[in-house]
Structure 1
Amino acid sequence: MVADTIEMILENNSTNCENCRQKAKNAIHEGFLATASVSEMMRRMNPVLLFDMQKYYPVAYRKFLKFKGEFLYNFIRYSLEWGVKDGLFREDIDVNFVSRLRLESINLPFQRSFYDAMDTDLGTLQEEIFILFLYGIATPKGTRMINKYRTEKQKPFTDDNK
Protein backbone atom coordinates (compact mmCIF):
# COMPACT_ATOMS: atom_id res chain seq x y z
CA MET A 1 0.00 0.00 0.00
CA VAL A 2 2.83 2.42 0.85
CA ALA A 3 4.60 1.63 -2.43
CA ASP A 4 1.38 2.27 -4.37
CA THR A 5 0.87 5.58 -2.57
CA ILE A 6 4.45 6.65 -3.29
CA GLU A 7 4.01 5.67 -6.93
CA MET A 8 0.87 7.83 -7.15
CA ILE A 9 2.69 10.80 -5.56
CA LEU A 10 5.64 10.39 -7.95
CA GLU A 11 3.31 10.24 -10.97
CA ASN A 12 1.64 13.43 -9.74
CA ASN A 13 5.05 15.07 -9.36
CA SER A 14 5.97 14.02 -12.91
CA THR A 15 2.79 15.59 -14.23
CA ASN A 16 3.44 18.79 -12.26
CA CYS A 17 6.98 19.01 -13.63
CA GLU A 18 5.77 18.55 -17.20
CA ASN A 19 3.06 21.17 -16.66
CA CYS A 20 5.66 23.59 -15.30
CA ARG A 21 7.81 22.97 -18.38
CA GLN A 22 4.89 23.71 -20.71
CA LYS A 23 3.99 26.89 -18.83
CA ALA A 24 7.58 28.15 -18.48
CA LYS A 25 8.94 31.04 -20.51
CA ASN A 26 12.53 29.86 -20.04
CA ALA A 27 14.65 27.45 -17.99
CA ILE A 28 14.88 29.77 -14.99
CA HIS A 29 11.14 30.37 -14.96
CA GLU A 30 10.62 26.60 -15.15
CA GLY A 31 12.86 26.15 -12.12
CA PHE A 32 10.94 28.73 -10.13
CA LEU A 33 7.59 27.16 -11.04
CA ALA A 34 8.75 23.64 -10.16
CA THR A 35 10.44 24.77 -6.94
CA ALA A 36 7.30 26.61 -5.83
CA SER A 37 5.28 23.40 -6.22
CA VAL A 38 7.86 21.18 -4.55
CA SER A 39 8.42 23.64 -1.71
CA GLU A 40 4.71 23.85 -0.99
CA MET A 41 4.53 20.06 -0.77
CA MET A 42 7.67 19.89 1.38
CA ARG A 43 6.29 22.38 3.90
CA ARG A 44 3.79 19.68 4.87
CA MET A 45 6.36 16.84 5.02
CA ASN A 46 8.04 15.30 7.97
CA PRO A 47 11.83 15.61 7.47
CA VAL A 48 12.42 11.97 8.44
CA LEU A 49 10.16 10.73 5.63
CA LEU A 50 12.96 9.47 3.36
CA PHE A 51 14.85 7.87 6.23
CA ASP A 52 11.71 6.04 7.41
CA MET A 53 10.81 5.02 3.89
CA GLN A 54 14.30 3.60 3.34
CA LYS A 55 14.23 1.74 6.65
CA TYR A 56 10.66 0.44 6.76
CA TYR A 57 9.40 0.49 3.16
CA PRO A 58 12.28 -0.52 0.87
CA VAL A 59 10.04 -1.17 -2.16
CA ALA A 60 8.62 2.36 -1.93
CA TYR A 61 12.11 3.78 -1.41
CA ARG A 62 13.40 2.00 -4.52
CA LYS A 63 10.54 3.54 -6.50
CA PHE A 64 11.58 6.96 -5.21
CA LEU A 65 15.23 6.33 -6.13
CA LYS A 66 14.22 5.23 -9.63
CA PHE A 67 12.09 8.35 -10.09
CA LYS A 68 14.93 10.53 -8.84
CA GLY A 69 17.63 8.81 -10.89
CA GLU A 70 15.66 8.72 -14.13
CA PHE A 71 12.83 11.23 -14.41
CA LEU A 72 14.22 14.01 -12.19
CA TYR A 73 17.75 13.65 -13.54
CA ASN A 74 16.52 13.95 -17.14
CA PHE A 75 14.20 16.82 -16.25
CA ILE A 76 17.06 18.77 -14.64
CA ARG A 77 19.46 17.92 -17.46
CA TYR A 78 17.05 19.19 -20.11
CA SER A 79 16.50 22.41 -18.13
CA LEU A 80 20.23 22.99 -17.89
CA GLU A 81 20.70 22.42 -21.61
CA TRP A 82 17.79 24.78 -22.34
CA GLY A 83 19.31 27.45 -20.09
CA VAL A 84 22.76 27.12 -21.71
CA LYS A 85 21.22 27.31 -25.18
CA ASP A 86 19.32 30.49 -24.24
CA GLY A 87 22.39 32.11 -22.66
CA LEU A 88 20.96 32.02 -19.13
CA PHE A 89 23.43 29.45 -17.81
CA ARG A 90 27.17 29.39 -18.35
CA GLU A 91 28.38 27.43 -21.38
CA ASP A 92 31.28 25.97 -19.41
CA ILE A 93 29.18 23.94 -16.97
CA ASP A 94 29.45 20.16 -17.09
CA VAL A 95 25.74 19.38 -17.57
CA ASN A 96 26.04 15.80 -16.28
CA PHE A 97 27.86 16.85 -13.11
CA VAL A 98 25.64 19.87 -12.45
CA SER A 99 22.50 17.76 -13.02
CA ARG A 100 23.70 15.26 -10.40
CA LEU A 101 24.69 18.06 -8.03
CA ARG A 102 21.24 19.64 -8.28
CA LEU A 103 19.58 16.26 -7.86
CA GLU A 104 21.50 15.56 -4.67
CA SER A 105 20.91 19.06 -3.33
CA ILE A 106 17.16 18.33 -3.41
CA ASN A 107 17.76 15.62 -0.78
CA LEU A 108 19.95 17.78 1.45
CA PRO A 109 17.09 19.12 3.61
CA PHE A 110 16.10 15.52 4.41
CA GLN A 111 19.49 14.83 5.98
CA ARG A 112 18.77 14.79 9.71
CA SER A 113 21.96 16.58 10.74
CA PHE A 114 21.34 19.32 8.17
CA TYR A 115 17.65 19.78 8.96
CA ASP A 116 18.21 19.75 12.74
CA ALA A 117 20.78 22.54 12.41
CA MET A 118 18.31 24.78 10.53
CA ASP A 119 15.52 26.83 12.01
CA THR A 120 13.05 26.65 9.13
CA ASP A 121 10.81 24.27 7.20
CA LEU A 122 11.79 21.92 4.36
CA GLY A 123 10.12 24.09 1.72
CA THR A 124 12.07 27.21 2.65
CA LEU A 125 15.30 25.21 2.74
CA GLN A 126 14.54 23.86 -0.74
CA GLU A 127 13.91 27.37 -2.09
CA GLU A 128 17.16 28.71 -0.64
CA ILE A 129 19.21 25.81 -2.00
CA PHE A 130 17.63 26.34 -5.43
CA ILE A 131 18.49 30.07 -5.45
CA LEU A 132 22.11 29.39 -4.48
CA PHE A 133 22.33 26.74 -7.18
CA LEU A 134 20.96 29.09 -9.86
CA TYR A 135 23.31 31.93 -9.02
CA GLY A 136 26.22 29.49 -9.26
CA ILE A 137 25.49 28.60 -12.90
CA ALA A 138 23.93 31.82 -14.19
CA THR A 139 25.34 34.19 -16.78
CA PRO A 140 24.80 37.94 -16.23
CA LYS A 141 21.64 37.62 -18.37
CA GLY A 142 20.54 34.69 -16.20
CA THR A 143 21.24 36.63 -13.01
CA ARG A 144 18.92 39.41 -14.19
CA MET A 145 16.25 36.78 -14.88
CA ILE A 146 16.72 35.20 -11.44
CA ASN A 147 16.35 38.60 -9.79
CA LYS A 148 13.18 39.23 -11.80
CA TYR A 149 11.55 35.93 -10.78
CA ARG A 150 12.62 36.31 -7.16
CA THR A 151 10.59 39.51 -6.94
CA GLU A 152 7.58 37.85 -8.60
CA LYS A 153 6.41 35.26 -6.10
CA GLN A 154 5.56 32.10 -8.07
CA LYS A 155 2.39 30.21 -7.18
CA PRO A 156 2.68 26.45 -6.78
CA PHE A 157 1.58 24.84 -10.02
CA THR A 158 -1.85 23.24 -9.95
CA ASP A 159 -4.43 22.45 -12.58
CA ASP A 160 -6.19 25.67 -11.51
CA ASN A 161 -3.44 27.94 -12.81
CA LYS A 162 -2.50 26.33 -16.12
Structure 2
Amino acid sequence: MEELSIRDKILKGAEVLFTKYGVRSISMDDIARHLSVSKKTLYQHFSDKEDIVTLACKAHLDRETIEFDNIHFRSRNAIEELAALSLKLKHNMEELNPSLLFDLKKYHPKAWAVWVNHKNRIIRQSVIRNIKQGIEEGYYRPEINADIISTMRLELVQLAFDEELFPREKFKLPEVQMEIFDHFVHGIATEKGRKLYLKHKEKVNKHQTTTIL
Protein backbone atom coordinates (compact mmCIF):
# COMPACT_ATOMS: atom_id res chain seq x y z
CA MET A 1 0.00 0.00 0.00
CA GLU A 2 2.83 2.39 0.87
CA GLU A 3 4.49 1.60 -2.45
CA LEU A 4 1.32 2.52 -4.35
CA SER A 5 1.03 5.84 -2.56
CA ILE A 6 4.61 6.78 -3.47
CA ARG A 7 3.97 5.83 -7.10
CA ASP A 8 0.80 7.93 -7.20
CA LYS A 9 2.60 10.85 -5.59
CA ILE A 10 5.30 10.73 -8.26
CA LEU A 11 2.74 10.60 -11.08
CA LYS A 12 0.76 13.50 -9.65
CA GLY A 13 3.87 15.60 -9.08
CA ALA A 14 5.15 14.89 -12.57
CA GLU A 15 1.77 15.77 -14.07
CA VAL A 16 1.82 19.16 -12.32
CA LEU A 17 5.26 19.91 -13.79
CA PHE A 18 4.37 18.69 -17.30
CA THR A 19 1.16 20.71 -17.33
CA LYS A 20 2.89 23.90 -16.26
CA TYR A 21 6.20 23.69 -18.13
CA GLY A 22 5.63 21.16 -20.92
CA VAL A 23 7.19 17.70 -21.07
CA ARG A 24 10.45 18.22 -22.90
CA SER A 25 11.85 20.79 -20.44
CA ILE A 26 11.26 18.58 -17.37
CA SER A 27 13.93 16.04 -16.45
CA MET A 28 13.98 13.21 -13.94
CA ASP A 29 16.12 15.49 -11.73
CA ASP A 30 13.37 18.15 -11.86
CA ILE A 31 10.74 15.61 -10.82
CA ALA A 32 12.91 14.33 -7.96
CA ARG A 33 13.58 17.88 -6.72
CA HIS A 34 9.92 18.86 -6.97
CA LEU A 35 8.89 15.86 -4.87
CA SER A 36 11.90 15.97 -2.53
CA VAL A 37 12.82 12.37 -3.32
CA SER A 38 15.94 10.80 -4.80
CA LYS A 39 16.25 9.77 -8.45
CA LYS A 40 16.78 6.25 -7.13
CA THR A 41 13.24 6.37 -5.72
CA LEU A 42 11.89 7.36 -9.15
CA TYR A 43 13.65 4.46 -10.83
CA GLN A 44 12.37 2.04 -8.20
CA HIS A 45 8.85 2.73 -9.46
CA PHE A 46 9.34 3.69 -13.12
CA SER A 47 11.74 2.45 -15.77
CA ASP A 48 12.42 5.89 -17.27
CA LYS A 49 10.92 9.29 -18.04
CA GLU A 50 8.90 7.84 -20.93
CA ASP A 51 7.23 5.51 -18.45
CA ILE A 52 6.31 8.42 -16.14
CA VAL A 53 5.04 10.57 -19.00
CA THR A 54 2.87 7.77 -20.40
CA LEU A 55 1.35 6.78 -17.06
CA ALA A 56 0.83 10.39 -15.96
CA CYS A 57 -0.94 11.05 -19.26
CA LYS A 58 -3.17 8.01 -18.79
CA ALA A 59 -4.00 8.96 -15.18
CA HIS A 60 -4.91 12.50 -16.27
CA LEU A 61 -7.16 11.30 -19.10
CA ASP A 62 -8.87 8.70 -16.88
CA ARG A 63 -9.62 11.42 -14.32
CA GLU A 64 -10.86 13.77 -17.03
CA THR A 65 -13.19 11.07 -18.38
CA ILE A 66 -14.84 10.79 -14.96
CA GLU A 67 -15.20 14.60 -14.74
CA PHE A 68 -16.80 14.79 -18.20
CA ASP A 69 -19.13 11.87 -17.40
CA ASN A 70 -20.25 13.71 -14.26
CA ILE A 71 -20.99 16.82 -16.32
CA HIS A 72 -23.11 14.72 -18.68
CA PHE A 73 -25.13 13.11 -15.88
CA ARG A 74 -25.72 16.49 -14.18
CA SER A 75 -26.85 18.24 -17.36
CA ARG A 76 -30.54 18.49 -18.19
CA ASN A 77 -29.99 18.73 -21.94
CA ALA A 78 -27.28 18.74 -24.62
CA ILE A 79 -26.84 22.53 -24.57
CA GLU A 80 -26.42 22.66 -20.80
CA GLU A 81 -23.78 19.95 -21.11
CA LEU A 82 -21.94 21.94 -23.81
CA ALA A 83 -22.01 25.11 -21.69
CA ALA A 84 -20.56 23.22 -18.71
CA LEU A 85 -17.93 21.59 -20.93
CA SER A 86 -16.90 24.99 -22.32
CA LEU A 87 -16.30 26.25 -18.78
CA LYS A 88 -14.26 23.15 -17.96
CA LEU A 89 -12.30 23.47 -21.20
CA LYS A 90 -11.47 27.11 -20.48
CA HIS A 91 -10.25 26.22 -16.98
CA ASN A 92 -8.12 23.34 -18.30
CA MET A 93 -6.52 25.48 -20.99
CA GLU A 94 -5.62 28.24 -18.55
CA GLU A 95 -3.49 25.76 -16.60
CA LEU A 96 -1.96 24.01 -19.62
CA ASN A 97 1.38 24.74 -21.25
CA PRO A 98 0.66 25.12 -25.00
CA SER A 99 3.72 23.01 -25.91
CA LEU A 100 2.40 19.92 -24.11
CA LEU A 101 0.75 18.17 -27.06
CA PHE A 102 3.65 19.02 -29.38
CA ASP A 103 6.11 17.57 -26.86
CA LEU A 104 4.12 14.35 -26.58
CA LYS A 105 3.81 13.93 -30.33
CA LYS A 106 7.47 14.58 -31.09
CA TYR A 107 9.30 13.08 -28.12
CA HIS A 108 7.00 10.59 -26.37
CA PRO A 109 5.28 8.26 -28.87
CA LYS A 110 3.81 5.95 -26.22
CA ALA A 111 2.12 8.81 -24.38
CA TRP A 112 1.00 10.29 -27.70
CA ALA A 113 -0.60 6.96 -28.62
CA VAL A 114 -2.50 7.03 -25.30
CA TRP A 115 -3.83 10.51 -26.12
CA VAL A 116 -4.79 9.60 -29.71
CA ASN A 117 -6.59 6.45 -28.54
CA HIS A 118 -8.45 8.44 -25.86
CA LYS A 119 -9.38 11.15 -28.35
CA ASN A 120 -10.64 8.75 -31.02
CA ARG A 121 -12.37 6.30 -28.69
CA ILE A 122 -13.66 8.16 -25.61
CA ILE A 123 -13.97 11.83 -26.56
CA ARG A 124 -15.27 11.19 -30.08
CA GLN A 125 -18.06 8.93 -28.82
CA SER A 126 -18.98 11.53 -26.22
CA VAL A 127 -19.25 14.25 -28.87
CA ILE A 128 -21.34 11.98 -31.13
CA ARG A 129 -23.66 11.15 -28.24
CA ASN A 130 -24.12 14.84 -27.38
CA ILE A 131 -24.84 15.73 -31.01
CA LYS A 132 -27.46 12.97 -31.39
CA GLN A 133 -29.06 13.99 -28.09
CA GLY A 134 -29.15 17.65 -29.16
CA ILE A 135 -30.80 16.75 -32.47
CA GLU A 136 -33.49 14.76 -30.65
CA GLU A 137 -34.10 17.68 -28.28
CA GLY A 138 -34.38 20.17 -31.16
CA TYR A 139 -31.30 22.15 -30.11
CA TYR A 140 -29.06 21.04 -33.01
CA ARG A 141 -29.74 21.05 -36.74
CA PRO A 142 -31.21 17.66 -37.74
CA GLU A 143 -29.32 17.44 -41.04
CA ILE A 144 -25.78 17.45 -39.59
CA ASN A 145 -23.64 14.31 -39.80
CA ALA A 146 -22.51 13.44 -36.25
CA ASP A 147 -19.53 11.35 -37.43
CA ILE A 148 -18.13 14.13 -39.61
CA ILE A 149 -18.79 16.94 -37.13
CA SER A 150 -17.31 15.02 -34.18
CA THR A 151 -14.10 14.37 -36.13
CA MET A 152 -13.87 18.02 -37.13
CA ARG A 153 -14.43 19.12 -33.54
CA LEU A 154 -11.60 16.94 -32.19
CA GLU A 155 -9.14 18.03 -34.85
CA LEU A 156 -9.91 21.71 -34.21
CA VAL A 157 -9.14 21.26 -30.51
CA GLN A 158 -5.75 19.85 -31.46
CA LEU A 159 -5.24 22.52 -34.14
CA ALA A 160 -5.38 25.28 -31.51
CA PHE A 161 -2.07 23.99 -30.11
CA ASP A 162 -0.27 24.60 -33.41
CA GLU A 163 2.10 27.49 -32.73
CA GLU A 164 2.67 28.13 -36.43
CA LEU A 165 -1.01 28.92 -36.86
CA PHE A 166 -1.51 30.56 -33.47
CA PRO A 167 1.85 31.93 -32.26
CA ARG A 168 1.94 32.30 -28.47
CA GLU A 169 3.18 35.90 -28.59
CA LYS A 170 -0.04 36.84 -30.40
CA PHE A 171 -2.67 34.34 -29.20
CA LYS A 172 -3.56 32.87 -25.81
CA LEU A 173 -4.53 29.20 -25.90
CA PRO A 174 -7.74 29.56 -23.79
CA GLU A 175 -8.99 32.37 -26.05
CA VAL A 176 -8.28 30.38 -29.21
CA GLN A 177 -10.03 27.30 -27.82
CA MET A 178 -13.10 29.27 -26.69
CA GLU A 179 -13.39 31.03 -30.06
CA ILE A 180 -13.25 27.65 -31.82
CA PHE A 181 -15.75 26.20 -29.34
CA ASP A 182 -18.25 29.05 -29.88
CA HIS A 183 -17.89 28.64 -33.65
CA PHE A 184 -18.62 24.92 -33.27
CA VAL A 185 -21.76 25.50 -31.17
CA HIS A 186 -23.19 28.18 -33.46
CA GLY A 187 -22.50 25.92 -36.45
CA ILE A 188 -24.54 22.98 -35.15
CA ALA A 189 -27.25 24.74 -33.14
CA THR A 190 -30.78 25.65 -34.19
CA GLU A 191 -32.10 29.09 -33.26
CA LYS A 192 -33.63 27.51 -30.16
CA GLY A 193 -30.27 25.97 -29.29
CA ARG A 194 -28.32 29.19 -29.82
CA LYS A 195 -30.67 31.16 -27.56
CA LEU A 196 -30.29 28.60 -24.76
CA TYR A 197 -26.49 28.45 -25.19
CA LEU A 198 -26.19 32.26 -25.02
CA LYS A 199 -28.39 32.24 -21.93
CA HIS A 200 -26.04 29.76 -20.22
CA LYS A 201 -23.00 31.80 -21.28
CA GLU A 202 -24.49 34.98 -19.87
CA LYS A 203 -25.17 33.23 -16.57
CA VAL A 204 -21.57 31.96 -16.40
CA ASN A 205 -20.14 35.41 -17.26
CA LYS A 206 -22.22 37.04 -14.54
CA HIS A 207 -21.05 34.48 -12.01
CA GLN A 208 -17.40 34.99 -12.96
CA THR A 209 -17.72 38.80 -12.77
CA THR A 210 -19.36 38.57 -9.34
CA THR A 211 -16.62 36.22 -8.14
CA ILE A 212 -13.87 38.60 -9.30
CA LEU A 213 -15.53 41.60 -7.66
- TM-score (norm: length of structure 1): 0.90
| Structure 1 residue ranges, 4+ long, deviating more than 3 angstroms after superposition | 117-120
**C-alpha deviations, 1:12-64, integer Å up to 9, x for none?**
11011101101112111111211211221111212111111111111000000
CA distance in 1, matches of 2:151, 2:185: 14
129, 132, 135: which is aligned to 1:84? 135
Q: Secondary structure at the match of 1:89?
A: coil
Gap regions ≥5 residues in structure 1: 156-162
CA gap of 1:118–1:63, structure 2 versus 1, over 3 A, is same
CA distance in 2, matches of 1:122, 1:105: 12
27, 51, 55: which is aligned to 2:106? 55
2:163 is matched with 112
Structure 2 counterpart of 1:42, one-letter code: M
How many residue pairs were aligned?
A: 155
1:30 is matched with 81
CA distance in 2, matches of 1:80, 1:118: 35
CA distance in 1, matches of 2:169, 2:138: 34
1:159 is matched with none
**C-alpha deviations, 1:85-107, integer Å up to 9, x for none?**
00000000011101111111111
Moved more, 58-67 or 142-151: 142-151
1:125 is matched with 176
CA gap of 1:45–1:97, structure 2 versus 1, over 3 A, is same
15, 40, 55: which is aligned to 1:4? 55
Query: In 2, are the aligned partners of 1:39 and 1:122 still within 8 Å (CA)?
Result: no
CA distance in 2, matches of 1:86, 1:103: 23
Q: CA RMSD in A?
A: 1.6
Q: Choose between structure 1 and 2 for higher RCO, CA contacts under 8 A separated by at least 6 residues.
A: 1
Gap regions ≥5 residues in structure 2: 1-51, 208-213
CA distance in 1, matches of 2:122, 2:90: 18
Query: In 2, are the aligned partners of 1:35 and 1:126 still within 8 Å (CA)?
Result: no
Larger radius of gyration: 2
- TM-score (norm: length of structure 2): 0.69
